[in-house]
Amino acid sequence: MAIFHPTVKKQERNKEPRKNILDPQGIIFQFQTGFIAPSSRVLRELVDDPFAIAKRYLLTYFIVDILSVLPLPQSGDNHDHVKALLNVSCSSIGSDKDVFDFGMYTDAIKSGVVESTHFHSKILYCFWWGLRNFSSLGQSLKTSIFIGEIFFAVFGLIFFSLLIGNIQKYLQSTTVRVEKMRMKRQEVEIWMSHRMIQEPLRERIRKYEQYKWQETRGVEEDTLLQTLPKDLRRDIKRHLCLELLRRVPMFEKMDQHLLDTLCDRLKSALYTNKMGDPVDEMLFILRGSLATMTKNGFFNTADLKAGDFCGEELLTWALDPNSASKLPTSTRTVEAKTEVEAFVLMADDLKLVASQFSRLHRKQLQHIFRQGF
C-alpha cells in the first residue's frame, strides 16, 4: 500500500514561528503590576514599589515568559511533512490491528472523527467518549499491549478513584454542617415564635444567620481558637490583629507583651452603633466599609475601610485611672455600607489591660495619644 502525503510549499515549510507581539508587552506589563504583600494577607495592602515588583517577577515567572517569546523552532524542518503524513496514514490504516493497534482509541478511528474537520463534532465526540469512560470507571477501555497506554489507563483510573473519594468526603462534611445549620435555624424559629418576635426583627435575625453562615460555613472561629494551644493561639492572633492594633498611635509604642494581651482580647463581630449611645467597644475593620456621620453644628460624613478603626473615645476613658464606671458617649453614628468583618475590643477588656500594665498610663503615651487624635 502506497501512502501519498500532500506537498508543502517551501516558503511555508521554512517559515519560522512568529513571535506574538503581545508577549513582550505582557512582560513589560508585569514589571508595572503591583501585588499583595505576603506579610499583609489580612489587610491585603498593594505593593507598588517598582524595585519590589521587579525583584518578585525576576525571581518567579520571568524566565518562563522569556522562553515563551523567543523565536525558537519547536520542531525540525520536516515537521510539516510528518504532520501531513500522519493525517493521511492514520485515516488510511483504520482499525486494522495487523498494521497498528490503536488500543483504547480504536473507537475514535472507527467513528471517523479523526479525519473530520468539523470542530464541534470533534469536541462533542471527545466529551462523550470521556464521559462514557468516567461513568464506567474505564471498564470499557480496551488497551493495546503498549506499556505506556496501559500505565495511562491504570493511573487514570487510580486518580479518578481518588477524586471521587475526595468529593465524597467534601460532600459528607458539607452535609453535616448544613444539617447543623438547618437545626439551628429551626431552634431560632421556635424561639422567635415563643417570644412573639415581630416580623421585621425576625427578618433581621434571619439575614444575620444567613450572612454568618456564608462567612464561616458553620465554623465558629472563637470556639476553634480556644481549642488550640496557647502559643499557637497567640501566633494566630498576632497574624490577624497585630497590624490592626499598630495603626492606633497609642498602641504603636507599646511593647510586644502588651500587644499580645490586647490581641488575645479581640473578638470577631459585626458592628452597628448610634450617636449618643454609650461606647462599649473599639472596632478594628478587617473587611468591608463603614460610613460615619457626625452632627456637631455641621453634618460631617466619612468612610472607614479595611485597616481603619473607631471607638477611640474608649482610649481616654481607659487611660484615666480616676474614670468612673460610666462609659463615654459616642460622638458619631456608624453604619455598615457593605458586609463588614471586624474585630472588637470591649471596654472592660481595655480597662483591664490598662490596670495590669502601669506603663499604659505614662505621660509619654498620653502625649502620643493626644497627637494622634
pLDDT at 325: 65
Question: Averaged over 311-333, what is the pLDDT?
Answer: 71
Residue where a domain terminates, one of 216, 250, 265: 216
Predicted confidence band at 348 (pLDDT cuts at 50, 70, 90)? confident
- pLDDT, tens digit, 9 for 90 and up, residues 273-284: 444 455 677 877
* 95 inside domain: no
Top pLDDT among 370 and 332 is at 332
pLDDT at 324: 61
Q: Are residues 296 and 354 in the same domain?
A: yes
In a domain, 82, yes or no: no
Distance CA 61, CA 66 (A): 9
End position of a domain, from candidates 216, 239, 263: 216
Q: How many domains does the chain have?
A: 2
Residue pLDDT, tens place only, 221-235: 777 777 788 888 888
Please, which residues bridge with residue 283 across strands?
310, 344
Whether 101 is in a domain gets the answer no
On whether residue 24 sits in a domain, the answer given is: no
Specify if 303 maps to a domain: yes
**Confidence class of residue 103 from pLDDT cuts 50, 70 and 90?**
confident
**Structural domain boundaries enclosing 167:** 149-216
Q: Where are the alpha helices (DSSP H) in 99-247?
A: 106-111, 119-135, 147-194, 199-216, 221-226, 230-237, 243-245
Same domain, 156 and 239: no
Does 254 lie in the same domain as 201?
no
Same domain, 260 and 322: yes
| 249 and 363 housed in the same domain | yes
Question: pLDDT tens for residues 229-270?
Answer: 888 888 888 887 787 777 777 677 667 777 777 787 777 776
pLDDT higher than threshold 60 for residue 109:
yes
Residue 188: all three cell numbers together: 431560632
Same domain? For 190 and 299 the reply is: no
| CATH number (domain holding residue 353) | 2.60.120.10
CB atoms within 10 A of CB 282: 24
What whole-number percentage of the chain has pLDDT above 90? 0
Q: Name the nearest CA neighbour of 205 among 262, 156, 270.
A: 270
DSSP 40: G
Taking alpha carbons only, the member of 73, 36, 32 closest to residue 50 is 32
Same domain, 246 and 363: yes
In this structure, the answer to whether residues 267 and 298 fall within a common structural domain is: yes
237, part of any domain: yes
Tell me if 38 is assigned to some domain: no
Residues 244 and 204 in one domain: no
Q: Within this chain, do residues 257 and 284 fall inside the same structural domain, yes or no? A: yes
Shared domain for 176 and 235, answered yes or no, is no
Look at residues 184, 216, 248 and tell me which one is the last residue of a structural domain: 216
Task: Give the residue ranges of DSSP H helices in 198-320.
Answer: 199-216, 221-226, 230-237, 243-245, 249-252, 256-265, 313-319
- With vertex at residue 359, the alpha carbon angle to CA 285 and CA 304, rounded to the nearest 5 degrees, is 15
Exposed/middle/buried for residue 220 (C-beta within 10 Å: 0-12, 13-18, 19+): exposed
User: pLDDT band at 6, cuts 50/70/90?
Assistant: very low
* One domain, residues 211 and 233: no
| Domain presence at residue 357 | yes
User: Looking at per-residue confidence, does 134 or 10 come out higher?
Assistant: 134
pLDDT at 369 over 70: no
Inter-residue contact 176 to 189 (CB < 8 Å) = no
Q: d(Cα 262, Cα 345) in Å, to the nearest integer? A: 8
194 pLDDT more than 60: yes
For residue 204, pLDDT beyond 70: yes
Q: Binning pLDDT at 50, 70 and 90, where does residue 63 land? A: confident
